[in-house]
Structure 1
């Protein structure tokens, strides 16, 4: 199994015979920058380039010769200061990270054998990094504060032996001397000896691994390791867990894959973990499936949420309803071709067919089965038919199912299962087709030349049968979703006829009457296809005041509708419910006018004064305060409508303050944008050789340039119309 992948990113070319001093001595990486120190005192700066799908490579930017001889012992980049610290000739020199030019303000630190850096510290006044320099000559670790243009020694830690390795975390130093490891806190001056080592037989290592921990004599991080040879650098990285698991699955080592997945669960996103686990479980299921261990295979397929279409697609003669499905056959060593098995070994193929029947029955009513109901039910239908399980088939098609008729009916006709065809049509609500099949069974006559009844023909037949007419119209309107005005109007008139008929039994059945009125009211509220004037003429002389109000409202006569509900129906609750339902989804002005009409209707009739007071106090947000003040009687006391005034004034004040707040926020945002623009336009721009045009990536040869609003510098000739926009 391939755990790591290696690629060559840089190689030094040999210089011929003789001793070559240009071998690689040390390496430092910072973002896309790579620095190499060689044995002959040369520092090279490279930039990494890696496009998607390509191996990373190094491109040389610049280099610097530190001296005639002497190796580069150590390199450390300080991105926050743009410094590169170089340990050469027992001295630390500060170079610019990009140009490798020495920084004149930072003089060399002498007598240094090794060094390390602390975390950058950001204060309001300055940014600095702590530098810890170990000296074998002085047997001490000196602490320096490194700024952009200066560094100074701020502390010193004496050692009993020569320092060999050094690591630091905050104020704690981990120092490897010639025979032991020591922890030393340079602020409290406390020290702790850890354990000894044998410098002659093992490599001494002291590195900070994670927060507050040091790694001693360990292999380091395997996420991305540069292996440095004398003439080349190779990068070693760990293959993603997903790749390792897929390779294990390719070898059918499912138990090892599952163990590895559980071990790296905390490193993976939840979705990736679930998908990998399903893949492992399903692979194990396929192995058991082809071993004919069907009970284990069924449980594993269900646990792994196997797409049932993957299994169905393996069987010959099974039709997939999903047109966009693309099958991915299982890649296991013991896979069999079920099509060949069907031709050569029927008894064995029937075992696989029985398993498919068992599996589909198990998942049919689960969430997984409900994702592809037509595929599952149609295949289960075919399996029953193929195995000759006719009793199960009849029971299956009698219940609710999602079989595709165009696929199933021809198969039933081929097997002469006409009674089952009738059951299938009936379960799908095609009762007329079921009757036709019954005619075919008993008369042996093909009814295919007889067309079904047209709705108009049926309505003409049912005219004298009121109950049947109502049921058929409800079928057309509610189930067939008919949008014909005639059907909706006829249904409303038929409801009204049933309510208004003089049959004593019907008149005495209050429950049936109320149910019929509710159906009529629901139709009048919800339907938009009936003729309101025709229905109103039907009930004009009746006492169906609520229905009259709905019809008047449908033609825009809201004031008349409210008068009917208040003065004739005398149902204040119905009047308020009318306002609520009619104003739903309408603008605020319409709502206020409608409620004002209801208030005026109440005030015109003295018995409804308490209702007017309750209407105001309970629906203050639905009224326009000025319109209410115009119609309120002068004899009313303030205490009577105090709640209404308080809520109205509160709402008015809230609206005014919200508008003021929105205006202030908009003004503040405008000022912030203007302030940012002023700061951006007054900022000084430093031009040097490192500056390149953001558009053409060429250096500036003159002082003329343009600056975009986003801060990029471009040549005047590169400034396009798109930039100006």
Structure 2
């Protein structure tokens, strides 16, 4: 695919070059700085000074002035010219002789340095030596069939190495230690350091002119068979695909990234990036093309032109205008070698941005996103394509020059709703991806506002989380958008995030009340939970009545689910709340349950109040025969649990109400709270005839007391069973015997034998007696073991004491206290178990050594 990479511009007019000498023709050419040297067929070297000038329209033109003209007198064509600017010399090959001339007056060197029998020579661009005042060249000898390396100075050429080849060399090029040489029908790669010669590939010498051009470090371009340009490295391999060019080439040159090839009619430009031909320039009679320090000159037999490179930016822009994104990016990357780093980065990023919009135009969203990110696009350029997505307070204008010619997404998609939706999905995805990156620095308001508007429009499930978390949205636009699309729950969350709790509550209350519709709203429980966490108590109380009227069970959670660490205020004191909730029976019960069971407040009035409410509810239900029995039982069970659980309510008050009913189970619990266990157990045994409940009563009320208290309760229950005044003779013998058998360890066997009827047989209470005897024997043996262990410990301590007292302590005038280092003034002293002797007053703690800190006992010191 074509691109205009070069423009051809006249460099030296025909009249200045040839004049009236019709037989003179250009044979070779060399350039160094502003100096251009022409070698002619009639043995002349002409030196021109070229001045390059830029026209107002950006075009380049040349002014040329002849500086000198030298005739070598050999009547042979000048085959090759090479400038050695470091030496101020020109190397000239004419009549198989290589000579040195001065650069500016073209005079021969006095030393007469010459090399004869030369067919071609090449300057080494990567010399093996490190002398800056010399040049390395390689010379090809046709008759000798050899290649020779020379070191050239100002006045001489010194041969250093020589390598023989199989055939006379026709053309060659050197780089470093590697020489690529064309023999009669074969290309070879020769290494000067190792002397190794490697065959590359053959060529047809009758149809192919052997051209060799250095294109990189030890890499060469060769004219191969079938009109192919072959790349070869010094290792003899190709790392690039070949170029396809025309037959009968006369010359090639290379200026990255282009290879220019000349035949008799055209100059073709090929890119080594994709091996495609990019441009064809008509040029009749072309003879020479050469690259000189980045400039390209071409010559026919009579005229010299310059190929002026079209600026990379224009080439790339032309490619972008043609939608050739990959080529544009590849060419832009290649420009890194020729453009300063900062300028390249700025240029390349803009190219990536333009390429991104081209990909977007083609709906290639993935490629567009990558280009936008790598090109560090101002995200507002993308958002601006979507109408009304930028905040209304934004003063953004598109970059100049424009990155694209897209009016907006609707124009891009030609009104196709499916494509428009796909573009909006892409925008949302892209903004989500870059939201926390450097691309958004300074533009967070624009990005977040656009995301919110997109989420609201497409009813994204991400909207709720987005408005509830950190965001930089422009408030007015966001509110308008959420209202427009009916996202009322999200609107409330948005107000909440921005600290306007009152507006948030107004929206949510309207939704719950049916004034607004939003299926995404969780309903009353959500509003209640929000109120329960709100620290603005004045605002909370404004909505308490509304919530309780909607649902007392839910509404009371405003108070029961408040944070544990919330600072206490007068408006949230339990007394205040209880007083307020009297109008709402369910709510006040729920709140008192919270105080009693959850917060475990030990205040009599709360416990009594809750017990009274439970009882009143049960009494009220008993009056209504339509109440199902299971519902009644649940309420009574709740009351019984409360009466049994708490010990803080006013028992007399509750008992006074219960005694007037047949609620015997409740009465039994209340008598138990008053320690009137006999009454409680008689109710359970004779009123309810619930013997299992009677045993559980004893178990429950004995918790937290010692064994004697527990035995007293079970003894009372046994007495109730055996009371002849309540039931008939032995009417409760069965539960009494079962009690004895199940709880033998909870009775004093002697007392049991004293109260059981005398006519009961031993067999009837045999199980009880067996267990009682075993328990008694166990207790006796345990006591004996404990006594013997105590005696053993006592004897051990006595032995230790005797041993300590048996050891003598000698106290002399020379002995000093080991704590204060003073002598003993009297016979009183203290001795520690480790042998330390001190004054009595220095032994402050007889259980701790005052010197070593060793602990002899855990008992505290006496004060």
For the aligned pair, the TM-score class normalised by the smaller chain equals: 0.3 to 0.5
TM-score by length of 2: 0.40
| TM-score, with length taken from structure 1 | 0.46
User: Which one has the largest radius of gyration?
Assistant: 2
More helix per residue: 1
